[in-house]
Structure 1
Amino acid sequence: MTFTEHTILITGGTSGIGLGFAKRFAELGNKVIITARNQVRLDTVLAENPDFAGFTSDIDDKNSVLELVNFIKTNFPELDVVMNSAGIMRALNLFEHSDGNLSALTEEIHTNLLGTIAVTQAFLPLLADNHGTVINVSSGLSNLADGAHPIYNLTKAGVHFYSDALREQAKYFGKNLRVVELVPPLVAETNLEEHASTDNPTNMKLSDLINEALVGLENDAERIDAGFAKILHQMGKSNSEENTSKLSAQMLGNYFPKEKGER
C-alpha cells in the first residue's frame, strides 16, 4: 500500500526531518500542511513549495494550538495524519545549571514532550473521526541515555511512553486511530545540533530515514526503528546499565572534553 491521498499536518515542517517528510509526502500525492513558529521561515518554505499549505503556530502556547485546530477544521476537515516533528536537542552540563533558574532546562520539555502531547490531544477527536494516524518522532536516545543530552533523552523517552499509552487506549476504547512512533538516530542533515556529521557512521541520511519510514508506514508498523536506532534499542534492552556507561563516557568526552591532566 502506497502512503498517498492523505491530508497531513506536520509540526516543525520548515526544516530538518519535518521538511524532508513534507516534501516526500507531497510528491506521493498527499495534501501537506506545515506549521512552525517563525513566520518568515514559513513564508520562505511555502514560496519554495507552492503545493504546501501553512499556518504559523507555537505548539508551546495553548491559544496558538487552538487557533491551529480551528484553522484545520475550517480549511482541512478531512485531516487524517498528524506528524509531530518539532523538536530541539541540546548538550547540557547539569552542573552549570544549578542556580535555581530552570528555564534553560525546560525548553526541550515544553517543545519535545509537552508540545507533542498538546498537538496530539487537540486533534484526537478529528483524527479518530477520520480513521487517522498520529506519527510521533522520538529518538534512538529514548532507548539509552547518552549522558550529554539529559533533558532531550527524557523528553524522547516520554514521547515513546505517551505513544505506547495512546496506542493501547485507542485499541481498548475502540477508536479508529493508528499511532506510529518513528525512532530516528541522529540525522546530520537536520542540523539539529552542532556535533552532527555526515562522516559519523552512526548518523543517517535524511533520505534513508524517509525511505525506511515509508516502508514501515506502508506495512502498518507501530514502531519504526531506523538506522542506528535499531542498535540503540537492543542496547537499551540488554546490559542497559553497562551500555549507558559506555555510551555516556564516549558522548560526554565528545561534548565536554576535559583539559589535559583534568580528572
Structure 2
Amino acid sequence: MIRGRVAFSGAIHEAYPDSLGVRLADGRVCREDEVVWLSPLETGTIFALGLNYAEHAKELAFSKQDEPLVFLKGPGSVVGHRGVTRRPEGVAFMHYECELAVVIGREAKNITRDNAMEYVAGYTVANDYAIRDYLENYYRPNLRVKNRDGGTVLGPWFVDAADVADVNNLELRTLVNGELKQHGNTRDLVTDIPALIEYLSSFMTLSAGDIILTGTPEGVVNVNAGDEVVCEIEGIGRLLNTIASDADFNRV
C-alpha cells in the first residue's frame, strides 16, 4: 500500500495517490497544491548515514570509515513534500541529499543481517540538506550541518516493504530547477540495509517508526534561494521542495 499524511480543511488526513492529485481517506480528491503535506508517518528516532556511497565520499574528499558514520536528527528537522527549507544568509555551500529512508516496523534488538529485513515496514524518500560551511570534524560533525529546522524533507508517500520488489536496485535522481544533477542506485550502498539494522540494533533498541536515512550518491551541488529541488526514487516517490532565504522567513 502507498499512503501519506496531509492537512486539509482544518484536519489531518491519511491520503493516497490519485490521477487528479491526492485522495483523502474520506474519498475527497484534492490537487497536490490544495493540501499541506506532512511527513508520511509519525517519526521516531531518525538515524542518518554519512558517506554511505563511495563516490560521494570521494567527491567530498573523505576517506572510508571503519564503522558506519551515523548521527541522530531531531523531529523539528522534518518538513513534508512541497515544503520550504531555509538557506541561511552568508553560507557558501548548501546542498541537497537524495536518500532512501528505511522505516522500522517493530522493535528490533540484536538483530542479525539474515533476518533484518523482517523488521522493515517500508520506505519513503528523504532530502536531507547539509551546509558544508558548518562541518567541523568527525567528533563534532553534524549538529548545525544536519539538525536545522525544516532541513530534512520526507515524503510524499510511505510505501510498504512488500510493494518494493528489489530495494537493493533502485534508481535515485535529483533535479534542480528541472535539470538533472544527481544520479545513483541503492546497489552502491557501502553498508547495506541489513548491515545497518544489524549494526544499530547491536547496541540500542530500534522501535516502530524509527527511520534510517541510508546516505546519498555523488552529484551534490550548491542550491540557492528560489531553487526548486526534486528528489526521485524509483518505485518510492517524487519529493518536491523549495529553497527560501532568511528574508522569506523574516530573519532579516
How does the TM-score come out when normalised to structure 2? 0.26
> Which structure is larger by alpha-carbon Rg, 1 or 2?
1
Asked which structure has the greater RCO (Cα within 8 Å, sep 6+), the reply is: 2
Higher strand share: 2
